[in-house]
Chain A
């Protein structure tokens, strides 16, 4: 479990995160949703310690991130996997080398074991053999995302972070990736945190949803709760299109 305690973060005097608290649960997909620019990425990067918050603290199963020494932080990072918004595969390494990289840093596996594990993870995310030795620049965006997921899960993380896993993907591929994240979360019991502004993903996999607006936590609840919330900003964001307004109306009708 990750607890976020009253986080504040600003850049050059403008406050991006304003006193945010929440707890993120194990074995569930915790979602941070909000408009572009609302501070989702900054929140995620503050949670994993890439940004140092100005105030507040993050607790990883009781271990405080801000009080941690460099060595302990390194150990904690061994338990984290992250999928970045733009995949962030290393340009100079091939697909399979990218997946091996975290093992080379952290584990004492020999070359043979690393190769096996990397292959297993790539197959797990449906990457075909012939792609293994291509460079990241030579494969499609959807494949890059999946390779990045393979890299994120290669050390069986306890905490999995995904920054907009399906931005820039077609609906079909998005769905596959969402399912993959859900499956991995349940299978490994990870505490998964997903940033998204994609309606489909929110409704599909969001177990515990935080809604950010201008750096403030406006609302928190499950995907079922979304239908019944009377938070106007949330309603405005989630049910923005006429289609979704319609969906909400019929859903509520059915329940009565």
Chain B
């Protein structure tokens, strides 16, 4: 498929996905399963990465602001702004594209090549709606929480640097992360992350849904899903930053 045909097929698929589910009860059951699978199971990696990056950002910010003319709170301020503006939305989503995206693409791709999707269709089920909608909605629901948690844990990581090393004092750090706080940046991060969550889940569902062949092709589909959704995320990041900031 060339790129235009693929984009067309993507939107056609989304047209099939966004319909009212036939059976509400099944939908809610699947939705809550997905909340757990895409959301809660992503929590450990979000916590670990945010903690480390928060600490690392603080150390690097300190090195880059080693200038007597700059106030001592600059380090904390920089750490906070980087977390709010870029790390806890874009970078976090790039990492989750690897985890959640490959998981979705391989799950749906396996169902495709083992004819489970055909089996759903012949039973009169709208397979795209049945399989994909709960995944997209669940991940989009979880995303704001993941962003907030990531910001909070990142800030804790920076605090750790103050508390356990002599790079920066805790007092300077705490002043810094509270200085000239603009709550809009949190919204900016959340709005971006919502868009990225949609990109990750819908694109990886698309690559899985149209897998054809064997296990090897499912592997390729999941690689494609991760790589291409990452690229689209970066474009969307550029666009949204221009629009929102």
Question: A interface vs B, CB < 8 Å?
Answer: 45, 48, 50, 73-74, 77-78, 80, 82, 84-86, 88-91, 101-102, 104-106
Contacts and interface: CB of A to CB of B under 8 A. Distances in A.
Contacts of B116: 88-91
Given A85-B115, A86-B114, A50 B122 contact: yes
Interface of B: 22-23, 26, 110-111, 114-116, 118-119, 121-125
Contact of A84 (B110, B118, B124, B125): B118
B115 A84 contact: yes
Contacts of A50: 118, 121-122
Contacts of A91: 110-111, 116
A85 B119 CA distance: 11
Contacts of B124: 73-74, 77-78, 105-106
A88 B123 contact: no
Given A45-B118, A82-B122, A89-B116, 17 more contacts: A74-B124, A77-B124, A78-B124, A82-B119, A84-B115, A84-B118, A84-B119, A85-B115, A86-B115, A88-B116, A88-B119, A91-B111, A91-B116, A101-B123, A105-B23, A105-B123, A106-B124
Nearest to A41: B115
A101 B114 CA distance: 17
15 contacts: A48-B122, A50-B118, A50-B121, A77-B124, A80-B122, A82-B119, A84-B115, A84-B118, A85-B115, A86-B114, A90-B116, A104-B23, A104-B26, A105-B22, A106-B123
Contacts of B122: 48, 50, 77, 80, 82
Nearest to A73: B124
Contacts of B114: 86, 88
A82 B124 CA distance: 12
B114 to A, nearest CB: 5
Contacts of A85: 115
Contacts of A82: 118-119, 122
A52 B159 CA distance: 61
The 5 A-B pairs of least Cβ separation, nearest first, read A88-B115, A84-B115, A88-B119, A77-B124, A74-B124
A125 to B, nearest CB: 17
Nearest to A92: B33
A73 to B, nearest CB: 8
Contact of B118 (A74, A88, A102, A106): A88
Contacts of A90: 116, 119
